[in-house]
Amino acid sequence: MVNISAVTAAPSPDLLTPDNCAVLFIDHQPQMFFGTGSGDRTAIINATAGLAKSAKAFDVPVVLSTVAAESFSGPIIPQLSEVFPDQKIIDRTTMNAWEDVDFVEAVKATGRQKLVIAGLWTEVCVVLPVLSAIAQGYDVYVVTDASGGVSPQAHEHAIQRMVRGGAVPVTWVQVLLELQRDWARSETYMSVMDVVQEHGGTYGLGVVYAQAFIGDHAAG
């Protein structure tokens, strides 16, 4: 039953804001992409880059992590390292990043309650830390299109398992627009439009068209 007198124009505390979340990128590495078969790998790379630039646009803290970078999986993809050139990358031996002390300490250092997580593979290196973080009290949002598994079934079953465990599935564009949430926020408006145009596919083309159309009329 809704208490009408208590209803206000205010956002839900479940929503992501630049001040309440951190973004964790786990194992976006060449060898991991080679084994990804749940979807188009170029699309996953694009979504990952879009998510990274979204975090940067709003100055959201990020944690970058790899597994066996020098011995097997290779370096973190340039689409991430170029966005965060000065960011320390935490390399692990553990498949579950939440069992790596340096990784967990980096997450704790962000001071954020909500964790936005993307990685490869969904059924191993994403699901394990997601469930572990939830068990320790974090609110976790899994960016499904910036993650991938070895097969469609592996990816989908992992998402189902995480949802049952309390995680919230989202997409990278959803994260970007949830962080912006009001087009009157001029300080981030142009950065958001830049990310959309570069990584938003046909949505981005729509922005290009609208800007050209408005520009033509303004010039006239």
CATH of the domain at 59: 3.40.50.850
Q: Which residues of 43-52 are buried (b: 16+ CB within 10 A; e: fewer)?
A: ebbbbbbbbb
CA distance linking residue 67 with residue 89, whole number of Å: 10
Domain range for 200 is 182-219
**Bond into 172 cis (ω within 30):** no
Asked whether residue 168 is domain-assigned, the answer is: yes
C-alpha angle 141-27-117 in degrees, rounded to nearest 5: 5
Q: Any catalytic annotation for residue 125?
A: yes
Residue 203 and residue 132 share a domain: no
Residue 120 and residue 65 share a domain: yes
Task: List, for the chain, all residue ranges whose pLDDT scores fall below the cut of 70.
Answer: 215-220
Where does 16-148 show beta strands of DSSP type E?
A: 21-26, 62-67, 89-92, 114-119, 139-143
Give the per-residue pLDDT at 177.
Answer: 98
Residue 100 and residue 199 share a domain: no
- Give the strand order in the sheet containing 89-92: 89-92, 62-67, 21-26, 114-119, 139-143, 168-170
pLDDT in tens, 12-32: 999 999 999 999 999 999 999
Residue 170 and residue 75 share a domain: yes
Catalytic one among 125, 128, 159, 193? 125
> What is the β-pairing status of strands 89-92 and 21-26?
unpaired
pTM score, whole prediction:
0.94
Give the per-residue pLDDT at 217.
Answer: 36
CA distance linking residue 6 with residue 74, whole number of Å: 54
Give the per-residue pLDDT at 215.
Answer: 53
Residue 32 and residue 139 share a domain: yes
Asked whether residue 44 is domain-assigned, the answer is: yes
Give the per-residue pLDDT at 216.
Answer: 42
Collect all residues with Cβ–Cβ distance below 8 Å to 205 and sequence separation of at least 6: none
Give the per-residue pLDDT at 55.
Answer: 98
